[in-house]
Amino acid sequence: MPGQLERVVDDLRKFYGPSSEPTVTKPFEQVLWENVAYLVHDERRARAFALLREQIGTSPEAILGASQAKLLGVTGHGILAETFTAKLRAAAATAMELGDLEAIARGPLPQARRALRRFPGIAEPGADRILLFSRTHAVPALESNGSRALQRLGLVAAGGSYAQVHRAGTKLIAAELGPDFDRLIETYQLLRRHGQELCRRSQPLCEGCPLGDRCAHYAGLMRWSSGLKP
């Protein structure tokens, strides 16, 4: 019998359609994806990344050899463009220092995580997403939109810190889905999309949500609107 999370993912797949494949999968390209532009939506980030790929290249050597003007053309898709040219260079320098990042990612998990966390903008959740998308380690990955949706649904305890919610969410994913790359990637993508489109940070669109019948947050809102305590 499918678990609660599996049923959520099934319903999200029916609602949104099959999840898209990750735009970039190679470990260093995923690091660059995080650092090409700050605070932008996926489409704009994809444009910045495409420009980097076409006009500069995505090898550490190409980035270290690029002019400031060319890098600004990429990072200018977001705010703090100067800061992010420095981050791209720092990422390239770290990659040169580490050596073959794909081999490191395929190596033992603790070392792979530690290496990835040396890059700008990559904390533990980001490192695990890189390992998952590159299909080097089938670890559960979850970002802030997905964490928020799981918390509101009541699948992880409400009220904890971001780190606690993330830990509980990844534990649930691992327990229900196991080390299956396809299912873990799909779950990451669908939960993220749900958190971006309906289960938004402010004013979630609960009335159109396919998960409303089992959602703790929505049930609380309904009780509140009918005059009962949430």
Q: Show the binding pattern over residues 82-111: x = contacts ligand SF4 (CB under 6 A), - = does not.
A: ------------------------------
Helix axes 68-75, 81-98, angle to 10 degrees: 110
| Interacting residues of 130 by C-beta distance below 8 A, sequence separation 6+ | 27, 30, 31, 105, 116, 122
Tell the smallest beta-carbon distance from residue 163 to ligand SF4 (Å): 21
Minimum CB distance to ligand SF4, residue 218 (Å): 4
188 lines the binding site for ligand SF4 (CB under 6 A): no
Residue 101: CB minimum distance to ligand SF4, A: 36
DSSP 135: T
Interface segment toward ligand SF4; rule CB under 6 A; list 23-31, 60-68, 71-79, 210-218: 210-218
Q: Which tokens in the block code for residue 199?
A: 């289960």
Q: Does 209 bind ligand SF4 (CB under 6 A)?
A: yes
- Which residue, 219, 230, 166, 229, is CA-closest to 195? 166
By CB under 6 A, what part of segment 110-169 binds ligand SF4?
149, 152-153
Residues 143, 183, 32: CA angle, nearest 5 degrees = 45
- Name 181's Cβ contacts closer than 8 Å, sequence gap at least 6: 132, 135, 138
Residue 217 in the binding site for ligand SF4 (CB under 6 A): yes
Token pair listed for 133 = 């998308």
By CB under 6 A, which span of 11-19, 22-30, 72-80, 203-211 interacts with ligand SF4?
Answer: 203-211
List residues binding ligand SF4 (CB under 6 A): 149, 152-153, 198-199, 204-206, 209, 211-212, 215, 217-218
